[in-house]
Amino acid sequence: MKRTITHLADGRELIYFDRRDDADRGAVDQRDLPPRPAASELRYDPLTEEWIAVAGHRQGRTFLPPASECPLCPSTPGNLTEVPSSDYDVVVFENRFPSFSAQPGEHREIGGLSEVRPGIGRCEVVCFTSEHDSSFSRLSPEQVELVMEAWVDRTAELSATPGVEQVFCFENRGAEIGITLAHPHGQIYAYPYVTPRTRLTLGAAGRHRERTGGNLFADVLAAEREAGVRVVGSNEHWTAFVPAAARWPVEVHLYPHRQVPDLVALEAEERAAFGPLYTDVLRRLDGLFGVPMPYIAAWHQAPVSTGRDLSYAHMELFSIRRAPDKLKYLAGSESAMGAFVNDVSPEGTAHLLRSVVTN
């Protein structure tokens, strides 16, 4: 793998990941870009003990442009994009409209009980392929391995960045999910705090260890593999299953068989084995209702400086589609109370996904 670092016209970092050592990445960003926005604000909610990012500059981000104006495609004479090169394998760059950044910000008083501080961190975009009309499910095993290497690289580097407490790699796919760009891509958030979901699960894992001496995530994986009824697929190093208490109509978790805190700790054969199983699951999702499945794919990794012995890196993949023409909306119970009601049996979902014929 060849790794090339360059910078865009406004100073943002861009990194090419190539399979070929002779890839030429000397193209320069010719655009006239405005200055980068200041860091967002972080406001503390004393009722939930959570940090909320307020990033008003994100209101102006690019929204569903036509393919001919896609900012994630390689640059052409008629369309200068975020990627100066005329082609690429995988590319990562700092988000132009970030929720968190290292740009200067300031502490200020707003009244009330909320503490306010700058949203220091980093947000990156990961372009999985230069092919605008492709999808992650259609990537070759070699391309998925290159994406994995990019995730590993960024997790390691961002975890070493001062002020970063957690690194989150994810993909939003589909207009129903709320994407703003259709090009196959994901994002990476380097948070300046440990996220609420991670604090919750690590708290549960700590209590489980006190009761049993075991690792909660490892025990869940072992129980699902033994039960079998919710397993969608597996190979030597990974298992994909629908969790017994799935919140979403379609939800699949993918676990490595060996407990590791983050993607960096995966061995080469484990990284290589992820792609074939994951893309098979994605094709099953697309085949479930005969339409492209909108989804969120979320990597759960250990925080940088706490709970690493309790953590177990894994992917959570879920969709809001509950039928070919129906979506699950987060209405009163879910949105106001955080109390989920799933209209679909997890065992039924697993059975249907296993029954899908993939190419």
Mean pLDDT of 175-201: 97
Query: pLDDT tens across 273-331, in order?
Result: 999 999 999 999 999 999 999 999 999 999 999 999 999 999 999 999 999 999 999 99
Amino acid at 289: F
Domain-terminating residue out of 162, 193, 224: 193
Lowest mean pLDDT among 58-67, 196-205, 241-250: 58-67
Q: Note whether 43 and 137 are same-domain residues.
A: yes
CB atoms within 10 A of CB 266: 20
Mean pLDDT of 101-124: 85
**DSSP-assigned letters across all residues of 145-179:** HHHHHHHHHHHHHHHTSTT--EEEEEEEESTTTT-
The catalytic position among 183, 185, 237, 300 is 185
- Confidence class for position 112, pLDDT limits 50, 70, 90: confident
Q: Note whether 36 and 136 are same-domain residues.
A: yes
Q: Note whether 161 and 12 are same-domain residues.
A: yes
| Catalytic residue status for 185 | yes
Say what the pLDDT of residue 152 is. 98
Domain-terminating residue out of 158, 175, 193: 193
Report the share of the chain in percent with pLDDT over 70: 99
Domain-terminating residue out of 193, 225, 243: 193
Q: Note whether 188 and 250 are same-domain residues.
A: no
Mean pLDDT of 85-93: 98
Q: Note whether 220 and 321 are same-domain residues.
A: yes
Mean pLDDT of 71-89: 97
Report the share of the chain in percent with pLDDT over 90: 91
Res 107 pLDDT > 80: no
CB atoms within 10 A of CB 320: 20
Range of the domain at 350: 197-355
pTM over 0.85: yes
How many Cα atoms occupy the beta-carbon half-sphere of 40 within 13 Å? 23
Query: pLDDT tens across 46-72, in order?
Result: 999 999 999 988 988 888 999 999 999
Rounded Cα gap, residues 113 and 43, in angstroms: 10
By three-state DSSP, how is residue 43 classified? Answer: strand
Q: Note whether 41 and 127 are same-domain residues.
A: yes
By three-state DSSP, how is residue 132 classified? Answer: coil
Q: Note whether 183 and 242 are same-domain residues.
A: no
Burial of 85 (0-12, 13-18, 19+ CB in 10 A): buried
Q: Note whether 187 and 233 are same-domain residues.
A: no
Q: Note whether 251 and 167 are same-domain residues.
A: no
Say what the pLDDT of residue 108 is. 73
Q: Note whether 223 and 323 are same-domain residues.
A: yes
Overall domain count for the chain: 2
Rounded Cα gap, residues 271 and 275, in angstroms: 8
Mean pLDDT of 180-185: 96
Given 3-state DSSP classes, what are the helix, strand and coil percentages for the chain, each rounded to the nearest 5? 30, 25, 50
CB atoms within 10 A of CB 94: 21
Say what the pLDDT of residue 106 is. 67
Give the CATH number, domain containing residue 264. Answer: 3.30.428.10
Joined tokens for residue 215: 């690792």
* Cross-strand pairs, 173: 295
Say what the pLDDT of residue 358 is. 87
Q: In 101-110, which positions are buried (b, 16+ CB within 10 angstroms) versus exposed (e)? A: bbbebeeeee
Q: Note whether 254 and 183 are same-domain residues.
A: no
Q: Note whether 72 and 181 are same-domain residues.
A: yes
Question: What's the whole-number average pLDDT of the chain?
Answer: 96
